[in-house]
Structure 1
């Protein structure tokens, strides 16, 4: 059976038509890095995935959860993540080390749910932590910055012990550390259960500043700006959905983190409802708010941080994806 040139070309064209969409779909995948599992950025990203908001933007998302903010930033620096959620101090420090990245979306203007905690029966106060061991997720992470702020503010010194996000509560309850910087909803859970008590509520103790943002490498922003825009659209669309659907969101938080519904409801009211809904890094006072965050990091001992203006990207303004 003979095959004419026209038939061969037609077959090749048909094969190419089948292959190219697959290549396009693979190229349209964004890799999102999240600093720990039981933390609000994971709730947002999971909501975006479950509500198919990434799909509505014409992209797919691969979510990877790390052991802390520093590890998440390292993954991005190594090329393993395209967009991450982290503290601004990390790109500010990384820039002088050749890791060129910027904050592309304002996510949070406070330390909502973060608490310095000790066991309920502990007699320790903040001043008594001098010379003790305090658990953090990882060096350079948000929990580390709060621990450093505590050292500076209380004029004390203690050993910061990195245990990963999943290790904070187990190490505190086991007595391996004297205190821990715990994020919500874990902080709400062990306080309500009576297992631990709060020494410092960082949401009220620390002056408001831009504490967390969505971050992307300069190169990724330059080469794939549409991917950054679509990713931000989906993430802020997820937050909009969450704020408008309390019952669904509380149920998701309880499911994801295996916590009771009443604790999930506390996380919803005290964290989710306080996050930044606009995300626009070009909004008034945003640079100033980020500089306050960097100044706090400097007070805590971080060095060689570039100014906030050097790590702010106004290239993108999230347009929340709608269902």
Structure 2
């Protein structure tokens, strides 16, 4: 081979080898904010990462877990997270305060696995909670809205105590609070262990509504619409993978949250399989479901309500990433 041709070939190989890591590092990174560790959005995001679904979409993902929904929303407002999962009420209240964001994908149409619980030896029932202390993750979070709804619906007056997602069960079992609004799979775990019992099942008591969705700031959606689309594609691809691979998902839940496989299986059957697989905010039933969510929050004390059309975006219908 002539020297010039050999040199050109070597140069081409060198450029190809060097270009590969550059291409990876140049991929856009989206920061995913998750409201607490032991919660289904974390399972979805972790599945998307482990199955390389973000990579298949040509982006990277950085996951950050917060202490509750309100803290997650504050992180997005401060520019520390690009896409988060939270209830519509935070989007509504945020717009009144200048935090301009929208729901871009519908994640859940109910409070699956959420339960109002007391220690197993407690004699308290829902009607007995007036004057008592009820643990929530944080003010303005999904757990707070459910606590407020309980107070309004049952005509009670109790003190809501924010303890963070990781503090719900320890504070309940230690007797620092009288009751707690507990999300799954923690609710399933402490019921199964016999440490606590349910006095109100929110999945059954609260009317079906859009309880949670994926949210981004307006300015981020306007500046990087392709990244938002790729992110929701990966997240809904992960949900499709989870539904199609029960054993793998149950194993992941058990591993992530350090719980027995039987509890992870309860989370799979009672929560994962009930999540929205379409995610389309443009679906005909979505505006009414969002309005009901806001109405329930209003009953619970939320005052900063804006029209539904101001808090939803129909631009990003998920196209689940193939796995």
After TM superposition, the score normalised by the length of structure 1 is 0.93
Distance, in Å, in 2 between the alignment partners of 1:22 and 1:74 is 33
Equivalent positions of 1:1-323 (< 5 A) are: 22=22, 25-26=25-26, 28-323=28-323
Give yes or no for contact 2:73–2:86 (8 Å, CA) kept in 1.
Answer: yes
In the TM superposition, residue 303 of structure 1 has moved relative to its aligned partner by: 1.0
> Could you say which residue in structure 2 is the equivalent of 1:3?
none
Distance 1:92 1:24 in 2: 37
Which aligned runs of 4 or more in structure 1 are off by greater than 2 angstroms? 17-27
CA distance in 2, matches of 1:99, 1:79: 11
Whether the 8 Å contact between 2:27 and 2:60 is mirrored in structure 1 is no
Q: Distance in 1 between matches of 2:166 and 2:121?
A: 23
Change (3 A) 1:80 1:20: farther
Q: Deviations over 1:84-116 (max 9, x none)?
A: 000110011000111000000000000000000
Instruction: Give aligned pairs, total.
Output: 310
**Distance between the aligned counterparts of 1:310 and 1:18, measured in 2?**
47
8 Å contact from structure 2 (residues 110, 209) kept in 1: yes
Deviations for 1:153-199, whole angstroms, at most 9, x for unmatched residues? 11011000000000000000000000000000000000011100001
Residue pair 2:254, 2:264 contacting (<8 A) in 1 also: yes
1:79–1:125 CA distance, 2 compared to 1 (3 A): same
Q: Indicate conservation of the 8 Å contact 1:114/1:202, yes or no.
A: yes
Shift of 1:242: 0.1
Match of 2:8 in 1: none
Root-mean-square deviation (CA, aligned residues, Å) is 1.6
Q: 1: distance between equivalents of 2:167 and 2:110?
A: 23
CA contact (8 A) 1:116 1:199 kept: yes
Distance (whole Å) between structure 1 residues aligned to residue 32 and residue 190 of structure 2: 29
Deviation (angstroms), 1:23:
8.0
Structure 2 runs not aligned, ≥5 long: 1-10
Q: Determine if contact 1:35/1:69 at 8 Å carries over to the other structure.
A: yes
Preserved CA contact (<8 Å) 1:25 1:59:
no
**Contact 2:27–2:58 under 8 Å retained in 1:** no
Are residues 95 and 19 of structure 1, via their aligned partners in 2, closer, same or farther at CA, if it must alter by over 3 Å?
farther
